[in-house]
Amino acid sequence: MAAHAESPLRVFLATSNSGKRDEYRAMSEGKPVLIDLLPNLAALPPFEESALTFAENAAGKAIHFSRFTDDAILADDSGLDVPALAGRPGVHSARYAGRGASDADRYRKVLEEMRGKKGEERKAHFVCVIAVARRGLALAVISALAEGVLLEEPRGSGGFGYDPIFYFPALGRTFAELSRAEKNLHSHRGLAFQRLLASLLS
């Protein structure tokens, strides 16, 4: 599946989120890869991300939507894993405060559950699993982690999700305080995508 200089690899994202498309495009800049949203996604049968692991959700989604096109499909699943909370919010990160809740609602719920926890108990990591499939077959499943510490109050106005409370010791800032370029270089999604590109373009 390696792309050649004269024929970039075309990959469709199994999402309607244009912000996620822009993030992937930024991460693939300078690479022989064309990233775009899967056309008519809303008209296709949906995929229920109900598995217990990020890998099952990502691979299942990529395989599901790859059956409706001859092009490669990329899907990811990611979330915040907090050992002191028995791994929560985990695969439920996007829905942790209920459907329709805001990012602030979700991270405030985590902060409330972390109340009174100190030191090592505040360690957490972001997990991302990216899967690529074509014509119903998985071609690659790649994962990566970003290790950090949960603050007691949010900091920064960038990013999304739990970024404002996720302090990244290597750079001394939260993910919400990083530039897009910095986050793409160090985040769980950025690391997983770098590994994926290395595999697909080798």
List the catalytic residues.
77
How do beta strands 123-134 and 72-81 pair?
A: antiparallel
- Residues pairing with 89 in the sheet: 81
Q: Which string of b and e fits 28-40 if b means at least 16 CB within 10 Å?
A: beebbbebebbee
Residue 7 has what DSSP assignment? B
Alpha helices in 71-187 (DSSP H): 103-113, 180-186
Q: Which string of b and e fits 74-83 if b means at least 16 CB within 10 Å?
A: bbbbbbbbbe
> Is the Cβ–Cβ distance between 163 and 151 less than 8 Å?
no
